[in-house]
Amino acid sequence: MLSPTKLAAAFDRVTDYWSPKVIGQVNGQLLKVAKLKGEFVWHAHDGQDELFYIVKGSLRIAFEDHAVDLEQGDFLTVPSGVRHNPVAREECWVLLIEPAETKHTGEELTERTRSLEEQLS
């Protein structure tokens, strides 16, 4: 028996900022929800695109030569290898799509790095 996943309910499980939770998958790509507030860290994902979809609020994604402002209902795919830094002036709810092997801080291991086990909990 298959059953639907409710996006709003998935966000109820998210209690910490910058701590994605896995809520589904399609062909090896994980769907994750996260609440963001403040500035993250500069990083890149080699060999892995990362999609951001804004469920609530707004998000600026800084790149080395420009920035993209995302509003509710917008999505953006950050291409593999492109350094970026998400900045949320106010609390922002995002849906992320990326492969299971993606570390959300890229190759930068910081206090904000969460293991896949933590993201599945």
Nearer of residues 71 and 110 to a copy of itself, judged by Cβ: 71
Residue 4 touches a copy of itself, criterion: CB under 8 A: yes
Beta strand 21-26 pairing with 29-39: antiparallel
Residues 6+ apart with CB under 8 A from 1: none
> For residues 6 and 91, what is the distance between their CA atoms, to the nearest angstrom?
20
CB of 19 to a copy of itself, least distance (A): 21
Question: In 10 A of CB 75, how many CB atoms?
Answer: 12
Contact 80, 70 (CB under 8 A): no
Q: Which of 66, 107, 111, 115 binds a copy of itself (CB under 8 A)?
A: 66
Q: Which of 13, 38, 64, 74 binds a copy of itself (CB under 8 A)?
A: 74
Strand partners, 103: none
Q: Which of 12, 15, 27, 111 binds a copy of itself (CB under 8 A)?
A: 27
Residue 48 touches a copy of itself, criterion: CB under 8 A: yes
Which tokens go with 31? Answer: 């769907």
Residue 115 touches a copy of itself, criterion: CB under 8 A: no
Binding site for a copy of itself (CB under 8 A): 1-8, 24-27, 29, 31, 48-51, 53, 61, 63, 66, 68-71, 73-79, 97-99
